[in-house]
Amino acid sequence: MSITLSDQDQLTLRTAAWGAVSLMSAAGAAGSAHKAATNGSIALTSATGLVGHVLAKAPKGLTGRTVAALADQVLPALTAAATLLKQHAPDEADNFRRTVTVAVDAAVQSQKGEPSPTMTEMARKITEALDAA
């Protein structure tokens, strides 16, 4: 089955996934925000299937003056993206969830030693947003 996503649907998926990496990077600023962002980005660009095609490029305009402002944009997008894919392409919903989870894990593992409580909490919030779908 082939599914075509609207431009807005694609933007939602990109905002959700790339935003999750941005949130993890911000949460890992005490360690290496750059490594967290790089490792998370590699995970996103390594995705396959419809999700891989959509996430091949980052969204424009994903900004926030604070982490809270970015989270206000990204966390609802994670839920919306997971819901959208569950309704229209259940296999891709699983692919999206796994891809975001791998990106979050990659960001966490970029830190030396144990992940900080800040990164652990941000990962929990991202997972919670995915599970809310």
At 50-69, the pLDDT tens digits run: 999 999 999 987 888 899 99
**Full-model pTM:** 0.93
Residue 1 in this model has a pLDDT that exceeds 50: no
Sign of the dihedral through C-alpha 129, 64, 7, 36: negative
C-beta separation of 54 from 13 below 8 A: yes
Question: What residues contact 128, with CB distance under 8 A and at least 6 apart?
Answer: none
Distance CA 4, CA 22 (A): 26
Q: With pLDDT > 70 as the criterion, what percentage of the chain qualifies?
A: 98
Q: What is the largest CA-CA distance in the chain?
A: 45
With DSSP H G I counted as helix, E B as strand and the rest as coil, what are the percentages for the chain, rounded to 5? 75, 0, 25
Helix (H, G, I), strand (E, B) or coil at 112: coil
